[in-house]
Amino acid sequence: MTQPILITGAAGFIGFHLAKLLLMKGMPVIGFDNMNDYYDVSLKEARLSLLNEYEGFAFVRGDLADKAAVFALFSKYHPVVVVHLAAQAGVRYSIDCPDVYISANITGFFHILEACRYHPVKHLIYASSSSVYGGNEKVPFSTSDNVDQPISLYAATKKSNELMARAYSHLYQIPATGLRFFTVYGPYGRPDMACFKFSDLIMGGKPIEIYNHGDMYRDFTYIDDIIGGIERMLSSPPCDDSGTQHKVYNIGNNKPEHLLRFIELLEEKLGVKATKEFLPMQAGDVQRTYADIDDLVADFDFKPQISIEEGLDRFVKWYREYYKW
């Protein structure tokens, strides 16, 4: 690919790692991000400074809700592939600040689809979420499962993204792939996610809040497995026998871990015991996530490989170096 790959949310967790991987392989990357303060902006700036070291990287600061800015981006750079990772994340935050989710996740995604309509691309890959499965009790979660009963606004926006992409793919022949991510963790991760958040609290001597009294399971997926899967998809847009150019995949570790075991492993890696505060289930949360990845394996011969033990080793090593613990 000689034309650039556009990554929205390039200063975010997954976007940064994907951009870095592609730049290391000599692919030109355009990054787009609004650098909002949902969490510590200095972490986003640190990611961005690493990307700016690569000659093939160009960064545009802008907001997805600004349609003119999105169209100007496409007009200037003519991306051949778009990896749309920018969004307002967080299940719990969506309860308190719903407006932000409509602006970023619905209006913002609409602007990306419109830009792909008028500036055709070879492939649009976009982020969905395991949250769309809501309270489904059948496990593992399959993309063929009914996901019409979201239990958070965040989940509803992600399900909406899938429906919007399907419609635009059908109407305007936009090849589009949706990815339902399962609890991604690793270096330069999001501070509001369990791995990072618990580490901060444990090392700061503060109690960690454990919901549903610890009876939770998460399909923790290491960042390198996520970006490895995305890389394989870049030049392989979907097309089934009927000519449909839209497909959704789960991308998860396919091995849910009990939350209390996860905490024990994290304590072991950090060398510090946590003070635990057990609480009831929080609104909008789910008891278990577990990805069925048969389609991912069949279509791309790809399966996540990094165990929770190895992943936490890598995260804690980075965490200690970054914060100089």
Q: Do the beta carbons of residue 134 and residue 147 sit within 8 Å?
A: yes
* 3-state secondary structure at position 9: coil
Q: In whole angstroms, give the CA distance from residue 235 to residue 78.
A: 16
Q: In whole angstroms, give the CA distance from residue 244 to residue 143.
A: 16
Strand partners, 177: 125, 247
* 3-state secondary structure at position 143: coil
Closest by CA position to 189, among listed 79, 314, 99: 314
Strands (DSSP E) found in the chain: 5-8, 29-33, 57-61, 81-84, 123-129, 176-181, 184-185, 208-210, 217-218, 221-222, 246-251, 257-258, 276-278
154 part of the active site? yes
* 3-state secondary structure at position 212: helix
Q: In whole angstroms, give the CA distance from residue 44 to residue 278.
A: 31
The torsion defined by the Cα of 134, 135, 139 and 143, in degrees rounded to 10, comes to -30
Q: Catalytic: which of 77, 93, 126, 154?
A: 154
Look up residue 121 and give its two tokens.
Answer: 């691309």
Q: Do the beta carbons of residue 124 and residue 176 sit within 8 Å?
A: yes
Q: Which residues are catalytic?
A: 154
